[in-house]
Every structure is written in C-alpha cells, then in structure tokens.
C-alpha cells in the first residue's frame, strides 16, 4: 500500500512539473532574431566611428564594392560596409562605371556560436509507462556569441593594381540566457534592444 501511495505521489509531482514547463519553438526563420542581431551588431561595432579614418584612396573617390567570404551573411556585411564608406565620404556602387577604385571586403569570419552548461535532469520519455518528464534545470546557461572579422583590399581602377590592405576589423557580441530552479529565467547581453520572449505574465497584460 505504501508503494502505491509513493507511486501516486510521484505521478502527481511529475504531472505538476510537466504542467509548469513551457515548450517553445525556437524559430520560424533560418536564424532567430537574436542570432541575426548578434551577427549584424558585431559587424557594425567593428567599423571605426571616426570620420577621418585613413584609407589608401582619396576622399570622394568612386568605389566599386565587392565582397568575398565563405558565409551567406557576407552580403549583409557588404551592405553595412557600403553605408560606412558613404559616411566617410566615398561614393559606393556595384558596377565599374566611373569607378576610380575597387574595394574587396574579405570576410575572414562571420557567424555565431553557442555553448551550454546544464545541471539537472534531462528530458525523459518513459517506454513502459506513458509518462514524459520535461527538462528540469537546477541551473542552465545558454551562451551565444556573435563574431565578425574582415578586412578591405583596395585596388586601382581600371588598371586593377593592388594598392593596400586595411587592418582587420574585429568585434564580438553576446547573449546569455540562464535558468535557475526550473522556472526562474533571465538573460544578460550587450545587444541594443534585443527581442524579448513573451512570458505568461506578459500575455495576461
């Protein structure tokens, strides 16, 4: 009889914990909004803010801008660099017409990484008894980082003569999500206005 009582209480506890858990679909896009910000802000932060930055071509030059890299995100980096060159006083275009210089954005590394630290009980799916137990985290940390490194190769046009390479532009970002004692969640980040996941309390507002 005592065994039956213990089993019954165990089922009630697992049912309660299952009811308290939240199932969240990570994303409906190729990258989450947070991951997109991690990458794009890393590129933006790597670009110097001083307008008098010395590049190996005269101010006001007409620049044909190209990009090279292994990541599909290189086009986003190209757009941000184009706007930055415009702020410095250069005229940026895709075609060679009237261009005095060609600038190749060489993307050495651009992307995000995730590391996880977990202490608790992982999700359990029972085979004999139709009872599933969600992940129970006494402590969980999901550490996301964005990283950007690229440089500029400058060529003369129309000769195609190589002039010089810039120093590397390097920056990183982070978004860390923490869970304590099953239900207490919070995060730390250096992103500007990161997206916020709607909680039950916010849904009731």
Find the distance separating the first CA and the last CA of the chain, reported in whole Å.
46
* pLDDT of amino acid 11: 43
Answer with the residue of higher pLDDT: 129 or 113.
113
- Residue 133 pLDDT greater than 90, yes or no: no
- Average pLDDT of the residues in 178-193: 89
State how far the Cα of 106 lies from the Cα of 95, in Å rounded to an integer: 18
Reported as a pLDDT band with limits 50, 70 and 90, residue 123 is confident
* pLDDT of amino acid 145: 96
Domain ranges of the chain: 29-203
Q: Token pair 């994303």 is at which residue? A: 27
Contacts of 165 (CB under 8 A, 6+ apart): 151, 152, 153, 154
* pLDDT of amino acid 46: 95
**Nearest one of 65, 25, 55, 57 to 169, comparing CA atoms:** 55
State how far the Cα of 140 lies from the Cα of 26, in Å rounded to an integer: 17
The tens digit of pLDDT for each residue in 75-85 reads 999 999 999 99
b/e per residue, 49-88, with b = 16+ CB within 10 A?
Answer: eeeeeebebeeebbbbbebebeeebbebbbebbbebbeeb
State how far the Cα of 45 lies from the Cα of 149, in Å rounded to an integer: 11
- Average pLDDT of the residues in 89-118: 93
CATH class as words, domain 29-203:
alpha beta
Give me the residues paired with residue 153 across strands: 104, 165
The tens digit of pLDDT for each residue in 13-34 reads 444 444 444 444 455 677 889 9
- Residue 37 pLDDT greater than 50, yes or no: yes
Judge contact between 108 and 137, C-beta under 8 A: no
The tens digit of pLDDT for each residue in 146-164 reads 999 999 999 999 999 999 9
Answer with the residue of higher pLDDT: 46 or 201.
46
Answer with the residue of higher pLDDT: 132 or 48.
48
The pTM assigned to this predicted structure is 0.76
* pLDDT of amino acid 81: 96
């Amino acid at each position: 009889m005592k065994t039956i009582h213990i089993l019954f209480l165990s089922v009630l506890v697992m049912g309660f914990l299952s009811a308290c858990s939240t199932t969240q679909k990570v994303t409906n896009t190729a990258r989450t909004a947070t991951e997109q910000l991690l990458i794009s802000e890393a590129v933006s932060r790597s670009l110097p803010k001083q307008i008098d930055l010395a590049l190996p071509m005269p101010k006001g030059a007409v620049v044909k801008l190209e990009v090279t890299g292994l990541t599909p995100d290189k086009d986003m980096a190209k757009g941000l660099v184009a706007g930055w060159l415009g702020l410095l006083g250069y005229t940026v275009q895709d075609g060679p017409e009237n261009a005095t210089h060609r600038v190749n954005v060489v993307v050495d590394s651009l992307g995000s990484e995730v590391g996880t630290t977990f202490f608790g009980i992982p999700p359990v799916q029972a085979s004999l008894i139709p009872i599933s137990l969600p992940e129970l985290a006494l402590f969980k940390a999901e550490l996301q980082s964005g990283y950007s490194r690229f440089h500029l190769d400058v060529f003369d046009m129309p000769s195609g003569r190589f002039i010089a390479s810039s120093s590397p532009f390097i920056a990183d970002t982070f978004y860390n999500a923490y869970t304590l004692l099953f239900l207490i969640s919070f995060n730390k980040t250096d992103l500007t206005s990161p997206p916020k996941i709607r909680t039950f309390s916010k849904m009731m507002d």
